[in-house]
């Protein structure tokens, strides 16, 4: 008997220009474009196995060994349905293909890092889900096409289907057909950039991104300014900086955009706080590190960025990583001194 099964994995991505807000919550269409770096560390990935079998009663999914309900019309159901539809199209075109699109699927996904702690687990998770179904169904669809489906699982997931430097173009259409991810540059273009992830707290976050961002859309006047007057120029400028391997500009924009994302969170009613005192202390350290570098006639040496949680991601050229790790260990020497344990997660090359 033929076994129809495939495994794929996808890494986490960390945004430099942040996605925050939807103009369509069902199709997951964003209020602004975003841009991220896909990390290529083995310890920041989701790995997913999908199996189609006529003897299965229904579609089922396990996340880290625990079964999750696949709600009718929900995000998981939508992604699975769309992938089955692509397979069905193939089967209709090529009658020699086994008709597996009608079989129920069982899907098992594992993250090798804390789930929902502001480390973009939904991004790698939905990207790996779509990638594994694509392999199962032997679809030849390109990554941008698949990103249209991953996007409907979780917005940021569309960016994890590419390595390297990736933009999610917000698009304009009401059906979302032009809201997908594109590669700005592959990782080989700028392998010198490394990411250092400082896990300040790996507990599940207080306000989910999904509900938090819609509260921001409904209540924040600053968000309206951001999406109209700030993000479009930043997307163009940071893309140019990436293509030119201009770390100074890349770092400046990355830090500005992290700051503005947390400002719109604060501008939300009621306000949302994702960073904590340790996060802010790390910002102060990086600001001072850069100030000294610039005062000595140099350029910026590191960029911090924070997502919907307190954990810091520091982008820096490889030559600075050792120095940054030493600085952080010097100023945050003992995990138990802090209410939130501080853990150095590791230095990551980017993919
Ligand atoms: C980002 N974040 O661009 C931003 C920065 C968090 C802060 O994408 O509702 O989990 O599933 O589309 O993708 C978090 O949003 O939200 C996010 P949904 P998602 O990475």
Confidence band of 116 (pLDDT split at 50, 70, 90): very low
C-alpha separations of 195 from 22, 131, 324 in Å:
28, 24, 11
C-alpha separations of 190 from 40, 112, 186, 232 in Å:
13, 26, 8, 23
Residue whose CA is closest, atom 20 of ligand 1?
Answer: 15
Give the residue-averaged pLDDT of 15-30: 98
Max avg pLDDT among 121-125, 208-212, 257-261 = 257-261
Probe ligand 1: pick from 147, 153, 176, 209, max atoms within 8 Å of CB?
Answer: 209
Q: What one-character-per-residue DSSP string does 39-65 give?
A: B--TTSEEEEEEEE-TT-SS-EEEETT
pLDDT (tens digit per residue) in 314-349 = 999 999 999 998 999 889 875 443 333 334 443 343
Checking if the pLDDT of 350 tops 60, the result is no
Q: What is the ipTM of this complex?
A: 0.98
CA–centroid distance, 155 to ligand 1, in Å, is 6
Largest Cα separation within the chain, whole Å, is: 70
Checking if the pLDDT of 95 tops 90, the result is yes
136 in Cβ contact with 50 (< 8 Å): yes
CA of 28, closest atom in ligand 1: 12
pLDDT of 347: 39
pLDDT of 351: 28
Confidence band of 202 (pLDDT split at 50, 70, 90): low
CA of 75, closest atom in ligand 1: 11
Signed CA dihedral, 283, 286, 290, 292: sign only: positive
- Measured CA to CA, the distance from residue 18 to residue 235 in angstroms comes to 10
pLDDT (tens digit per residue) in 240-260 = 999 999 999 999 999 999 999
Quote the percentage of the chain above a pLDDT of 90: 81
Confidence band of 118 (pLDDT split at 50, 70, 90): low
CA of 122, closest atom in ligand 1: 10
CA of 30, closest atom in ligand 1: 12
pLDDT of 213: 97
CA–centroid distance, 14 to ligand 1, in Å, is 10
Quote the percentage of the chain above a pLDDT of 70: 91
CA–centroid distance, 296 to ligand 1, in Å, is 37
Give the residue-averaged pLDDT of 224-235: 98
- Measured CA to CA, the distance from residue 124 to residue 256 in angstroms comes to 25
pLDDT of 122: 86
Probe ligand 1: pick from 155, 160, 161, 275, max atoms within 8 Å of CB?
Answer: 155
Ligand 1: lining residues by beta carbon, under 6 Å: 15, 18-20, 28, 34, 120, 122, 154-156, 209-210, 261, 307-308
CA–centroid distance, 118 to ligand 1, in Å, is 9
C-alpha separations of 347 from 258, 296, 350 in Å:
20, 26, 10
C-alpha separations of 54 from 76, 130, 171 in Å:
20, 20, 38
* First-residue to last-residue Cα distance in the chain: 38
Percent of the chain as helix, strand, coil, to the nearest 5: 40, 25, 35
Residue 89: count of CB within 10 angstroms of its CB = 12
DSSP annotation of 350 reads: B
- Measured CA to CA, the distance from residue 275 to residue 69 in angstroms comes to 31
Q: CB-based contacts of 307: which residues, under 8 Å, 6+ apart?
A: 14, 15, 18, 118, 119, 120, 274, 313
CA of 18, closest atom in ligand 1: 3
Domains of the chain: 4-187 (3.30.230.10), 193-349 (3.30.70.890)
CA–centroid distance, 323 to ligand 1, in Å, is 30
Mean of pLDDT over the chain:
91
pLDDT of 204: 64
pLDDT (tens digit per residue) in 51-93 = 999 999 999 999 999 999 999 999 999 999 999 999 999 999 9
pLDDT of 119: 65
- Measured CA to CA, the distance from residue 225 to residue 229 in angstroms comes to 6
CA of 34, closest atom in ligand 1: 3
Probe ligand 1: pick from 27, 151, 156, max atoms within 8 Å of CB?
Answer: 156
Q: CB-based contacts of 99: which residues, under 8 Å, 6+ apart?
A: 91
Checking if the pLDDT of 175 tops 50, the result is yes
Higher pLDDT, 121 or 128: 128
């Amino acid at each position: 008997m033929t076994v129809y099964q495939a495994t794929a994995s996808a890494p986490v991505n960390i945004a430099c220009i942040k996605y925050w807000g939807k103009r369509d919550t069902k199709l997951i269409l964003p209020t602004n474009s975003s841009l991220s770096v896909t990390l290529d560390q083995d310890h920041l990935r989701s790995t997913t196995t999908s199996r189609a079998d006529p003897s299965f009663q229904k579609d089922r999914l396990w996340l880290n060994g625990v079964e999750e309900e696949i709600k009718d019309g929900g995000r998981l159901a939508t992604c699975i349905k769309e992938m089955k539809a692509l397979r069905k199209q193939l089967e209709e075109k090529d009658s020699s293909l086994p008709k597996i699109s009608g079989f129920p699927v069982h899907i098992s996904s594992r993250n090798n890092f804390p789930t929902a702690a502001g480390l973009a687990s939904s991004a790698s998770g939905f990207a790996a889900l779509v990638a594994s179904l694509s392999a199962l169904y032997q679809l030849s669809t390109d990554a941008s096409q698949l990103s249209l489906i991953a996007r409907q699982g979780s917005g940021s997931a569309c960016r994890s289907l590419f390595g390297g430097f990736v933009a999610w173009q917000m698009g304009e259409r009401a059906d979302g057909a032009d809201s997908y991810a594109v590669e700005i540059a592959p990782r080989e273009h700028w392998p010198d950039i490394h990411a250092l992830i400082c896990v300040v707290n790996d507990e599940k976050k207080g306000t989910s991104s999904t509900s938090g961002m819609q509260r921001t859309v409904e209540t924040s006047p600053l968000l309206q300014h951001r999406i109209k007057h700030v993000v479009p120029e930043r997307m163009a400028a940071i893309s140019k900086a990436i293509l030119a391997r201009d770390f100074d500009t890349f770092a400046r924009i990355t830090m500005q955009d992290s700051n503005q994302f947390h400002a719109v969170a604060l501008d939300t009613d009621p306000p949302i706080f994702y960073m904590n005192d340790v996060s802010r202390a790390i910002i102060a350290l990086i600001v001072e590190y850069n100030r000294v570098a610039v005062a000595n006639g140099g350029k910026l040496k590191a960029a911090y960025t924070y997502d919907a949680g307190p954990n810091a991601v520091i982008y820096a050229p490889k030559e600075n990583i050792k120095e940054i790790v030493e600085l952080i260990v010097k100023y945050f020497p003992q995990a138990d001194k802090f209410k939130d344990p501080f853990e150095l997660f590791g230095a990551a090359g980017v993919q």
